[in-house]
Amino acid sequence: MKHIKLDIEADGIAVLTLDNADESMNLVSPEFISEFAEAIEMIAADDAIKGTIVTSAKPAFMAGADLKFLGAAFDKGMTVKDALAFRQAPSDMHRRMETCGKPFVAAINGLALGGGCELVLSCHYRVIVDDPKAVVGLPEVNVGLLPGSGGTQRLPRMVGVERALSMLLGGESVPPAEALARGIVDEVVPAADLLEAARRWLRGNPDPLREWDRKGYKPPEALGLLNLKLAQHFTMAGPAASAKTLHNYPAPIAIVSSVFEGIQLPFDAGLRIEGKHFARLLSGPVARNIIRTTFLNKGKADRLSRRPAGIPKSPVKTLGVLGAGMMGAGIAHVAAAGGIDVILLDATMEQAEKGKAYSASLLSRDVERKRRTQAQADAVLARISPTVDYADMAGVDLVIEAVFEDTAIKADVTARAAAVIPAATPFASNTSTLPISGLAEAFERPADFIGLHFFSPVDRMPLVEVILGKKTSEATLARALDFVGQIRKTPIVVNDSRGFYTSRVFQTFIHEGMALLQEGVAPALIENAAKQAGMPVGPLAVTDEVTIELPMRIAKQAEAEMGTAYKLPVSYDVMRRMLDEFRRPGRKGGGGFYDYPEGGRKHLWTGLKDAFPAAAEQPDVEEVKKRILYIQALETARCLEEGVLADPVDGDLGSVLGWGFPTYAGGTISLIDTVGLPEFVAECDSLAQRFGARFLPSDWLRQKAAAGSGFYS
Amino acid sequence: MREAYIYDHVRSPRGKGRADGALHEVTAVQLASQVLKAISDRSELDTTLLDDVVLGCAQPVGEQGGNIARSAVLVAGYDESVAGVQMHRFCASALEAVNTAAAHIMAGQSDAAVGGGVECMSRTYIGADSGAWSADPWVSYHSYFAPQGIGADMIATLDGYSRADVDNYALESQRRAAAAWQGKRFANAIVPIKDVIGDVLLDHDEYMRPNTTFEQLAGLKPAFTALGEKGGFDTIAQMRYPQIEAVNHVHTGGNSSGIVDGAAAVLVGNDDFGKASGLKPRARFRAFSSIGSEPTIMLTAPADVANKALKRAGMTKADIDLFEINEAFASVVLRFMRALDLDPEIVNVNGGAIAMGHPLGATGAMILGTVLDELERRDLNTALITLCAGNGLGTATIIERV
């Protein structure tokens, strides 16, 4: 056995030590399963063995299954039947351990998650080390799956249906004391006593029979809906899953149903039910989409996979931030929190101090919520030095400019900073729309100029869009990515263009929303359709937040610079009327598409129905959802075609982390692959016919569809 | 096809469906059997002439389970040859029971039967027979299940009924019910319910609040806001009706039907039975029908099922003198009247379940009896009775005096 060690101690206690030979973490893999199954048979057959301790030689007990494998299942064409067969071996292995007639005790020396937790649950007794890092939990729901190896059957039988469902649906992991309180483990002991505690339990000659394998076992919950408390619980649980997922994520209802149906059956029948629900999830696209984008590809981006090789690491010790407004202050905050000293410059000391005060308010909130100690908060705040004096920029390792989105103003502050910063210090602009190559003209070292587009609020938004100007060097990219890594954000790398990637595609979302309004689609239908499609907020609501002036300014600026080559957005007339005719620029301006009554809930502006009368015939919500999602996907495809994006991964990650494009779709590009490119092109053609040329797929996309290739395959 | 006639009907008074309700100590089978005994005794019926007793019950579990109709037949002292079957069409169960009794007669497979229903809401509780539609998570998830109160509020939202609209309707229900009791219009139907030593426990509808004012109604808290917002049901309703910005929660305990105990019985038979029993037919069945409708709101069937029954009878709404639509919630009645463009003066003329209560499985037979008495009092001819029911069901019946 390669990944497991079996030792038999003098008093007949066997110790099975998990020790993955290939990786630093014990993972559930086919190899592991066959070895573990073999070990169980050896133990079962050896009369000298009285009982077995299962523990790990790694710092962690065991993480779950290999996400790379699970994430690839759908792409390999795994059918429901294949998936069912796939989960049979681990399920059988756990069951065999549980019923082989000899007691097994889990000595949990570190975290036990997912498949690792299911292994622990299959043991007859659980001792866990008293270490807050040794969390246990079943987080499968977070990757669009359910625990497919008995987790949905053992946990409710051990801790009760309500507690089990709360853990399974929340996907939460809990530290040892909490695990004990919830009945997931039996004993919490100091690390030094872990194996001895396990031995102690085995020496007591425990009955190696789980409760549910005893004759006459019939928990009150097996009555199903005749158990009135349970009936009430499930009456709320199904609809709660429905409302929470909006039917976009299939895992929660599969979990609820697996528990509901399984708890009423004998244990092995319950396992079969669970297996079928699991197989549906694993063979479907949603788990693939979630795993691929939010775990595998996000992980790669976080490890700076786009960083050019061969350039030495260059951590930023001191950061210069130009402009202490909302964005500048936010950038200063995350940098300081990442251990970087920050020179925060603005035109007046009052404004610069205000920027620092923003950080102070975020920190005091952290202290209040016990996320930091007061001393830690003080240390972070002390790293931010507000100033009005460009001379203070003399020693900075990186400058980020975050002043008003105006080429002239940006050029001015760029020149002033350039005059004092060290000759090798790269310069970044936090512009969200202005082409980087143009801004770089104001900087004498364009190779050292780059875009670092943060999202608001900076402390909460995980993405940084790194924009390469025409002349940006590889070394500058490497240094910018190092900085993004330092502040623990996720970078995507895009090429220069108007609006780059994220702003450009996000605009199509709000423009489409306003176009729907222009056509007479009921505003509530527009907003609900977007939310039901998985967008975090409706297009009209989010336009109110960014103000209608913003997309209008972007359009006007583009028009001024490009002239007749620029095609006005489809929503131009709606924006113009909202701004000029109704004087409703958005939330900050006292109201936009919504009214914001003081102390009350916001609601759609009552004047909307006169301003944009509803058409007699309203579209089906599915069509509105499709328009809202497809226009964003199509624009992302154009970004790939034009080379703004070099990699579909950046498109997916940027959409999910940048503006909340739904993870069930995996991002804007994965959406196309999920629909199927030929079908997507056909649907877009149909939309173009009815709603305008903006939905027309390009020849490039048609050829790609005809060639039968997807973006990832 | 033979004609099915209504020869008589009785009902219990409606007791508050709570521990302090006057009928709380009466078991469901006792309540049903007292009503059955009364309809038999007052016509000195030879119960061997009855083929069946069909009783509606919307929560047929526990003491209401196990085919309560058969137990009630025996406890009432009917001949043991009388069968007994329990019907479940949620809130329309009793009307369905009467229709079923009539249908067997019309089909020539039965001569006489009692249709009716029973529900002891003080002794069970809503959800006791939960079932797949609401409690099997897979089913409720995929059918966009929401509780009735959310559906009632959705009707108000979609149709634009304000809180004042529904409260005004509730006020009128109280006023009409009070006037009906004052005018002794239920006297012939009411069977006082007795305890085990023969003392009368209740002889009137004790749920009513005849002195209710508009201000009092307006002061009540909406009953389904928390369920809608925290339980996620508003979101589910919006998935079905994405044109709704927000659900307008207007229904309260004051403009929704009351939770009560009650039972009712309707004696149905062919002409031979009438002759053999020496009874005169009071009305005949013109048509009846049941349909399904959109299950999330689940309360919108009445207009469609009424139209279906009218069509089956070869009638139009103009041929109907009085309408009874169960007051499950005020908005249900308002939508029905709007859909059929009815004069409120011929709808629920003696009040309804908002004022007097809605014993789920018995109401259909009660309101059928109420409107028959009123046709006779006003010397009119035709009436349409309809109820919305769980999971989108609805039942309607058209009767005509003979």
Q: Could you tell me the pLDDT band of residue A562, with boundaries at 50, 70 and 90?
A: confident
Instruction: Please pick, among A277, A333, A453, A511, the residue that the annotation labels catalytic.
Output: A453
| CA–CA distance, A661 with A672 (Å, rounded to integer) | 13
Distance from CA of B236 to the nearest CA of A (A): 6
Q: Tell me if B134 and A228 make a contact (CB, 8 A cut-off).
A: no
In this prediction, residue A440 carries a pLDDT of 94
- Burial of A601 (C-beta count, 10 Å sphere; 0-12/13-18/19+): exposed
Q: In terms of CA atoms, which chain B residue is nearest residue A236?
A: B231
Q: What is the DSSP string of B138-176?
A: HHHHHTT---HHHHHHHHHHHHT--HHHHHHHHHHHHHH
In this complex, the residue of B134, B239, B245 whose CB is nearest that of residue A524 is: B245
Closest CA relative to residue B106, chosen from B292, B269, B348 = B269
How far apart, in whole angstroms, are the C-alpha atoms of residue A374 and residue A708?
58
Looking up tokens 């709380």 gives B24
What pLDDT, on the 0 to 100 scale, is given for residue A407?
87
Q: Write down the pLDDT at residue A498.
A: 84
Nearest-by-CA chain A residue for B61: A226
Q: Which domains does chain A have, with CATH numbers?
A: 4-283 (3.90.226.10), 318-496 (3.40.50.720), 503-706 (1.10.1040.50)
Whether the per-residue pLDDT at B125 is higher than 90: the answer is no
Contact B141 A232 (CB under 8 A): no
Closest CA to B140 of A621, A233, A532: A233
Please say whether the beta carbons of A281 and A251 come within 8 A. Answer: yes
Give how far Cα A306 sits from Cα of A101, A437, A479, A645, Å.
53, 20, 12, 12
* Lookup: tokens for A54: 């299962």
State pLDDT tens for residues A188-215: 999 999 999 999 999 998 999 999 999 9
Q: Which of A100, A99, A120, A121 lies closest to A214 in space, CA to CA? A: A99
> Of A242, A601, A618, which is closest to B243 when you measure between CB atoms?
A618
Q: Do A246 and B131 touch (CB under 8 A)?
A: no
- Tokens describing residue B329: 């919630």
Interchain proximity A260–B145, CB inside 8 Å: no
Mutation target for B interface from A236, A273, A537: give the one with most B CBs within 10 A: A236
Residues 193 through 252 of chain B touching chain A, CB cutoff 8 Å: 231-233, 235-236, 238-239, 242-246
Find out whether A210 and A124 touch, Cβ atoms under 8 Å.
yes
pLDDT value of residue A605? 98
CA distances from residue A358 to A320, A332, A334, A343, A528 in whole angstroms, order as listed: 17, 10, 11, 15, 34
- Smallest CA–CA separation between B144 and chain A, in Å? 7
d(CA A602, CA A595): 6
Query: How many Cβ atoms are within 10 Å of A407's Cβ, its own excluded?
Result: 16
| B157 min Cα distance to partner chain A (Å) | 13
Q: Choose the mutation target among B138, B143, B144 for the interface with A, i.e. most A CBs under 10 Å.
A: B138
- Please judge whether A256 and B137 are an interchain contact, meaning their C-beta atoms are less than 8 angstroms apart: yes
Residue A528 has its nearest CB partner, among B141, B231, B242, at: B242
Q: What's the CA gap between B179 and A365, in Å, rounded?
A: 63
Average pLDDT, chain A: 96
| pTM (2 d.p.) | 0.95
State how far Cα B253 lies from the chain centre. Answer: 18
Where is average pLDDT lowest: A411-420, A609-618, A703-712, B124-133? B124-133
Task: Enumerate the active-site residues of B.
Answer: 91, 358, 388
The Cα–Cα gap between B34 and A344 comes to 87
Least confident of A70-79, A172-181, B109-118, B166-175: A70-79
pLDDT tens readout for residues B61-80: 999 999 999 999 999 999 99
Residue A526 phi, psi (nearest 5): -60, -50
Asked if A242 lies within 8 A of B127 by C-beta distance, the reply is no
- Mind listing the pLDDT tens digit for each residue in B248-273? 999 999 999 999 999 999 999 999 99
Calculate mean pLDDT across residues A472-480. Answer: 97
Q: Is the CB of residue B133 less than 8 Å away from at least one CB of chain A?
A: no
Nearest to B232 among A244, A257, A527 (CB): A244
Measured between CA atoms, how close is A519 to chain B, in angstroms?
15
Cα A319 to Cα A323: distance, rounded to the nearest angstrom: 13
- Residue pLDDT, tens place only, A338-385: 999 999 999 999 999 999 999 999 999 999 999 999 999 999 999 999
